[in-house]
A and B are shown apart, each in its own frame.
Chain A
Amino acid sequence: MEKANVTGSVMVVGGGIGGIQAALDLADTGFYVHMVEKSPAIGGVMAALDKTFPTNDCSMCILSPKLVECGRHININLMTLTEIESISGEEGNFTVKLKKHPRYVDMDKCVGCGVCASKCPKKVPNEYNEGLTKRKAIYVPYSQAVPLKYTIDRDACLYFKAIDAGKKGKCKACEKFCENDAINFDDKEEIIEVNVGSIILAPGFSAFDPSGDSLYQYTNFKNVVTSMDFERILGATGPTDGHLVRLSDHKEPQKIAWIQCVGSRDIHHCDNTYCSAVCCMYAIKEAVIAAEHSKIPLDCAIFYMDMRTYGKDFDKYYERAEKEIGIRFIRSRIHTILELEDGSLSIRYADEQGNIKHEDFDMVVLSIGLEASRDAPELAKKTGITLDKNNFAVTSCFSPVSASVPGIYAAGCFQGPKDIPYSVMEASAAAAAASTSLAPARGTLTKTKEFPAEKDVSGEEPRVGVFVCNCGINIGSIVNVPEVAEFAKTLPNVVYVEDNLFTCSQDTQEKMAEVFKKENLNRVVVAACTPRTHEPLFQETLKASGLNKHLFEQANIRDHCSWVHQKEPELATEKAKDLVAMAVAKVALVKPLEPVTIGLTPAALIIGGGVAGMVSGLTIAKQGFKVHIVEKKDRLGGHALDLRKSFKGETVKTFTDDLIKEVTEHENISVHLNAELEDVSGFVGNFKTKLTTGKEFEHGVIIVSTGAGPSDTREYLYGKNPNVLKWFDLDKKITDEPETVKAARAAVIINCVGSRDDQRPYCSKICCTHAIENAIDLKALNPDMSVYILYRDIRTYGTREELYQEARAKGIIFIRYDLDNKPVVKEVDGRLNVTVTDHVLGRPITIEPDFITLQTAIVPKGHEKLSRMLKVPINAEKFFLEAHMKLRPVDFSTDGMFVCGMAHYPKPIEEAITQAQAAAVRAMGVLSKEALAIEPIVAAFIDRNACRGCGLCVALCPYKALDIEETEEGRKVKLITAACKGCGVCAATCYRHAITINSFTDDQFANQIEARFAA
């Protein structure tokens, strides 16, 4: 490592989901994080969303654990109400001057009780609810806010208003009523200096403001709302308490329209040349949720230009919305909205044939675009980084999270509009990039968390506390939560019951910890969502209050109950009671377990030597860990070798060549060419791999980057006529024989060949942009060439839209076709002949092009075998399935395994690189540990008195975690803890019932069954 004198801490600016992810990744890989957030609380826009696409996950539900984790992470210094003032120094050693605005509330004294706000006389519009409700001048931004500390809004406060006007300040009601003496009107602005090695900027975006628009009349028509307003209207903590009603008269709407591209793809009513990349999906999501939410049948119509459902599972979501939920998709941009007397809204629109239609709607939702954060110019000025004309941070496709100043990184919507998973990936990637140069200082500034000594509960009678969660309205609107809580009080061993709006919120967590102590609880049941996401959070709370974390059980009354029995609230309530009873029955038998730690091999296996694999490998290697890259072919590079340039116009070849060289020469990297996996065994931290070449090695993590490639096709005379090309053939032709290409009079490019059909119901994502790039290049070679692109939807998301604009400006003709009316390609008198119906004129067009290029689908290859070998899932289209589509985009649900690049889904090179960096930092989360803690729930427990040493279990154990030993009492089975994964096959087999699995014992199972039928 060249730089030894670097600072082992990183500053993260912006406390949205991107900033949070970056902070957690850094803090978990040995770096201290200073997190700077301008507002009083972290959470960003995601905290205001209702559900998220394409899984319809409740946004707060998946965000909340991260908020809490971030809020109480020992290696994250959370600084709210803070802004960057100036920066000096350079990569590795920055000094950042911060301005900390006064909160006027002492964070240490405030308990978040809210008495101050209830007494405060001044009401102002509530930003969290898009101004649709009021908040007080002393407030918390939202009920699950982290930190849950009140803030005085100086501009609104009556006392300060008087002071600022030079008068004598009055009121101070908050101060009078605060029991904890937490109000401090003398609080002053502070300037703080912090030393950090790198800086990550993730200030997010600002939503487009349609207020000035005279055609859609957002300001004047009450039932015209923005998509952000609508999120709040759907939200449980929103202005209508989660009831879907229109704002003018609180009537339930029967018809809602969404209008797309408001503030996007528009150079007339704003100056936003780009596509906001997320609105199509969020509009579908809002329509689907609204339709499901509504008690009466709801007619939802989405007016759009191109339906841009280009991401993983997005097209299926779109299909389901249309075919199953009955959302209407109308391809037409709306000219004007008119308000009727009853507040309904009338829309006159032209269908695709040009016929005029009229429809009235109860509400209209404007799908507003994403603009650069309003803070971006100021931030750029202070940090010296470059912004583009839209005020998004400039980055290269090949180092997609590096801003223009070394040591400063950009993530999330700060560098262009994008959805949550992409922001999360970029955040992780930024964490990887930001820590690469700081690797020598890893662990120099971090602290270790101390928990209070564990209380000995052995010999105590079980005292169970039950916490039932409303989950906003996710549970509470279906399951009768108070009834479930009352029922829980009747259960054996239960001594305490309460219900909460959001059990996972930080304030609830803190209160729970106190309740544990006050009520002297020694067992806890939370009835809420799924333990797969939230168990660790609740267990942390147990630990913090001195309870062994295994004295816990979670009843899943949301994913398995309220969400899947929406039409049967009474039966759902009965089910919820049973689930609670079963959890209480189980937890009574649960015993404290001690964690087990094992060592690990600090090396990574990367499967696939394409760009993604190489980048992730290099990122890990640069941080000082050993890397094995296994590549099937005889050379590194993968499909990047066939690509000419990125969408920003950078040459891929130069980048790839450099990358291959760097990887090949790096001392920490072993490249295994012409090799595939023959066998993998082991578990996180301790894998053992055998290659087909016979080579064997050990490693701690696995990154799957096996890529995907163009599909075969027999459509459109491909393979029959030499002038029908696949897309990369044209790339080659443009590079290798530009003169031949130049001579062409006309060229046709056909999109969606093999994508978005019954066989492959997904969008290959990169083809639209690629087709347009090639078309522009054809025009550059020969401006007189007539170039036609036949498409279904143009999906040039984000700033790619500018390429689409450029292509149109150059006279490239775009003709839309439908799946049931595809272009026809024939050979007539030796010439190619294409017939397609023009989507505007409705008339057939025939073209005799010199060549036709097919944008064939991107398909994965050979994933089934690898999926089976690694025991990680693939989806129906054979792409690898990540642990969580939104917040764990590069993790597998199996510990120590990660995915990146096209193995996950078709994607352009900069996204593959981002994902590769993200996977690397996630992998580093394992590799950077000295030892791994093994969950003791998986370890088996052997009753040596009962064991006869028959060895049946030994024969059946898939992990060789059991062995026979000779003892004084004879042959007995012994456990090799580190190898045990807790499947329990042994326990289900032993006829002596001498062996069982901690936390999944026979008694516990039996108790659960008994509890279910006790009623």
Chain B
Amino acid sequence: MSQSIELTELRCELKKKVMELVPDANLNSCLTCGACTSGCPATGQFDLDPRKFLRMVLLGLDEEVMKTPWVWVCTICYRCYSACPMKVDIPQLVYNVRASWPREERPKGIRLSCDYHISSNGSAMGAKPEDFKFCVEDVAEEVRETQPAFKDLQAFVGRKGAELCLNENSRGPVTEPDEMVPLWKILHTVGADWTYPAIMWGGENYCMFLADDKNWEHIVRTLAEHIDNDLGCKVLINTECGHSFYSIWAGLQRFNIPHKFEFKSIVEYYAQWIREGKLRVNSDWNVDNIKFTTQGPCMLVRKSLGDPVAEDLRFVMKSLVGEENFVDMYPNRSNNFCCGGGGGALQAPYNEQRRAYGKIKFDQIMATGAQYVAVPCHNCHAQIEDICEFHGGHYHTIHLWTLICLSLGVLGENERTYLGPDLAEFGL
């Protein structure tokens, strides 16, 4: 990339376009100070970093900018932005450059997920609402039959008048139905009045990763209208998933979608229920002092709710495993490093770069010495598991609900996929 640049007149079409779309992205204001570069985990991938990428845009090297796949390795995690003295919104630039790619040339994995979501009116993995409903009811029935303590457990889809509406990651019903159960048990335990939505129930939004504004909006708007008009729920709770949370949180604002419900993360509810004594979790079970850490999803923390939700997450973790057994990563909270699985990276074809990106997260986790990483996010979960294997780590990646149920002593036999051998049999 050291070929010379002929530059008499600056055309900068791309820059102009993005500046029109996002006038407060301050693209021109760059001081070339490098704070973004040093904060970005994607620095060095495809010989680029946020500063270089922006510089190319500012110098009008549009063709080169449009060619580099770096925009699909960048996870739009906003860590560059958080340190930028000039509030240069490089993530917005990346998003809009993604949007400038011909749709058919954008990574197939992401594109197809988006398309499935739209066509199925339900989720990115294409499961149709009726399949989802059947699956949920079937699994719930099985729990009621096999687990006497939960003989009254209910899981509804599209129930009108429920107070809470909860979305569900499509991996649940499609590939690991038993992973849905712990959360149901939690909701049951606290006596929540809840339902899944009947349409657009999938707690993900690949159209956002695809930079497909139209379909991103469609998913969020459909869901919002469904909740307000069909169900009348007071609160929409996002399940343990970061990008899903952000797609709704940002989508409601970005597309100015009217809605009556309140939108919250399940993590906030976990913390609230524990504080209220509804979830009587404790850490007494952790007699072996197994160490735990947690990854707060960028989409949930830095990009949406900030440090308060990160504090909730830590409160939940400490309640579950014991203060002394919780080891934080550094940096953390709003300044956390992205794991590299966000932004659609998991569905993009640049695995080598994604794993190199994830090395920072891997090292951070290893530095904690924790045996378990609890992550309230499906993308983080998949990525953290993947980099563990790739970089030769030996920790386990789990959902929070698993840990909560383990602490409550209600984790079923089939609900332990992600636990390590030390806990696989625990409490059975």
Chain A residues in contact with chain B, CB under 8 A? 214-215, 261, 265-269, 305, 331-336, 338-339, 348-352, 354-356, 745-746, 784, 786, 805, 808-811, 813-814, 816, 835, 838-849
The complex places the Cα of A265 from the Cα of B85 at a distance, in Å, of 7
Partner of B59, one of A333, A805, A845: A845
Question: Which of B33-41, B111-119, B214-222 lies at the interface?
Answer: B33-41
Distance between Cα atoms of A845 and B32 in the complex (Å): 17
Is A350 a contact partner of B49 (Cβ separation < 8 A)? yes
When the two chains form the complex, which single residue of A268, A348, A786, A846 contacts B38, counting CB atoms closer than 8 Å? Answer: A348
Name B residues whose Cβ lies closer than 8 Å to a Cβ of A.
1-10, 12, 26, 28-39, 43-44, 49, 51-52, 55-56, 58-59, 79, 82-87, 307, 330-331, 333-335
Measured between beta carbons, the chain A residues less than 8 angstroms from B37 are: 350, 354, 356
**B254 shortest CB reach to chain A, Å:** 21
Tell me which of A786, A839, A843 contacts B2 (CB under 8 A): A843
Query: Which residue of B3, B34, B58 contacts A813 across the interface (Cβ within 8 Å)?
Result: B58
User: When the two chains form their complex, are residues B10 and A786 in contact, meaning their CB atoms are under 8 A apart?
Assistant: yes
Count chain B CB atoms within 10 A of each CB in A351, A355, A813 and give the residue with the most. A813
Given A268-B86, A355-B44, A813-B58, 15 new contacts (CB under 8 A): A265-B31, A268-B84, A334-B35, A339-B330, A352-B34, A354-B43, A354-B49, A354-B52, A746-B8, A811-B28, A838-B5, A838-B55, A847-B7, A847-B8, A849-B8
A753 to B38, CA, bound (A): 32
The 3 closest A-B pairs by CB, nearest first: A335-B39, A333-B33, A350-B37
Q: A305-B33, A841-B1 are known contacts. Are A846 and B86 too (CB-CB below 8 A)? A: no
Nearest residue in A to B81 (C-beta to C-beta)? Answer: A268
Chain A residues with CB under 8 A of B84: 268
Contact B335 A808 (CB under 8 A): no
Minimal Cβ-Cβ distance residue in A for B333: A214
List the A side residues contacting B5 at CB < 8 Å: 838, 841, 843-846
Return the chain B residue nearest A849 by Cβ. B8
B34 pairs with A349, CB closer than 8 A: yes
Min Cβ gap A348→B in Å is 6
Q: Is the CB of B86 within 8 A of A786?
A: no
27 A-B Cβ contacts within 8 A?
A214-B333, A215-B335, A266-B85, A266-B86, A268-B84, A305-B31, A332-B33, A333-B31, A333-B83, A335-B38, A336-B83, A338-B331, A350-B38, A354-B43, A354-B49, A354-B52, A356-B43, A784-B9, A808-B31, A809-B26, A811-B12, A839-B32, A840-B32, A841-B1, A841-B55, A841-B59, A843-B2
Contacts of B30 in A (CB 8 A): 808
CB pair A844–B4 under 8 Å, yes or no, is yes
Q: Is the interface of B mostly helix, strand, loop or mixed?
A: loop
Most buried by A among B9, B35, B82: B35
Name the B residues within 8 Å of A336 (CB-CB): 38-39, 83, 331, 335
Bound Cα distance A269, B334 (Å)? 14
Q: A746 — nearest CB in chain B belongs to which residue? A: B8
- For the complex, what is the distance from the CA of A805 to the CA of B59, rounded to whole Å? 17
**Known A214-B335, A305-B31, A335-B39; contact A267-B86, beta-carbon cutoff 8 A:** yes
Decide: A215 and B83 in contact? CB cutoff 8 A.
yes
| B85 A349 Cβ-Cβ under 8 A | no
In the complex, chain A residues whose CB is within 8 Å of the CB of B29 = 805, 808-809
User: How far does the alpha carbon of A835 sit from the alpha carbon of B4 in the complex, in Å?
Assistant: 9
Q: A846 contacts which chain B residues (CB < 8 A)? A: 4-7
Q: Is the CB of A813 within 8 A of B59?
A: yes
> Which residues does chain B contribute within 8 Å of A838, judged by CB atoms?
5, 55, 59
Residues of the B chain whose Cβ atoms lie less than 8 Å from the Cβ of A835: 4
Q: Please, how many angstroms separate the alpha-carbon atoms of A841 and B3 in the complex?
A: 10
> What's the minimum C-beta distance from A337 to chain B, rounded to whole angstroms?
9
Output the nearest chain B residue to A839 by Cβ-Cβ distance: B32
Contact of A335 with B83 at beta-carbon distance under 8 Å, contacts A356-B43, A809-B28 already known: yes
Distance A805 CA – B31 CA, assembled complex (angstroms): 9
Residues of A within 8 A of B79 (CB): 335
Bound state CA distance, A808 and B35, in angstroms?
18
**Which of the listed residues A261, A350, A808, A811 has the most CB atoms from chain B within 10 Å of its own CB?**
A350
A826 smallest CB distance to B (angstroms): 14
Contact A840 B51 (CB under 8 A): yes
Residue of A with least CB distance to B49: A354
Chain A residues with Cβ below 8 Å from B52 are 354, 840-841
Q: Please name all residues of chain A whose beta carbon is closer than 8 Å to the beta carbon of B38 when the two chains form the complex.
A: 332-336, 348-350, 356
Question: Is A845 a contact partner of B7 (Cβ separation < 8 A)?
Answer: yes
Q: Tell me how far the C-beta of A280 lies from the nearest C-beta in chain B, rounded to whole angstroms.
A: 14
CB proximity of A845 to chain B, nearest CB, Å: 5
Q: How far is the CA of A476 from the CA of B344 in the complex (A)?
A: 65
In the complex the two chains form, is B330's CB within 8 Å of A338's CB?
yes
B28 touches A745 (CB 8 A): no
Chain A residues contacting B39 (CB-CB under 8 Å) are: 335-336, 348
A269 near B331: Cβ-Cβ < 8 Å: no
List, in ascending order, chain A residues with CB within 8 A of B331's CB.
336, 338
Chain B, Cβ-Cβ closest to A264 = B85
Contact A333 B34 (CB under 8 A): yes
Tell me if B34 and A332 are in contact (CB < 8 A). Answer: yes
| Complex interface: chain B residues within 8 A of A266 (CB) | 85-86
A214 to B301, CA, bound (A): 14
B44 in contact with A354 (CB, 8 Å): yes
Inter-chain contacts of A847 with B (CB < 8 A) = 7-8
For A261, the closest partner residue in chain B by CB is B85
A residues in contact with B330, CB < 8 Å? 338-339
Q: How far is the CB of B191 from chain A (nearest CB, A)?
A: 37
The residue in chain A whose Cβ has the minimal distance to the Cβ of B35 is A333
- State how many angstroms separate the Cβ of B268 from the closest Cβ of chain A: 20
- A786 and B32 CA atoms in complex are apart in Å by 19
Known: A335-B35, A356-B43, A805-B29. A843 touches B4 (CB 8 A): yes
Task: Give the chain A neighbours of B4 by CB distance below 8 A.
Answer: 835, 843-846
| Residues of B close to A351: CB separation below 8 A | 34
Chain B residues lying within 8 Å of A840, measured Cβ to Cβ, are 32, 51-52, 55
Using CB atoms, name the residue of chain B closest to A745. Answer: B9
For A332, list chain B residues within 8 Å (CB). Answer: 33-35, 38
Residues of B within 8 A of A214 (CB): 307, 333-335
A816 to B34, CA, bound (A): 14
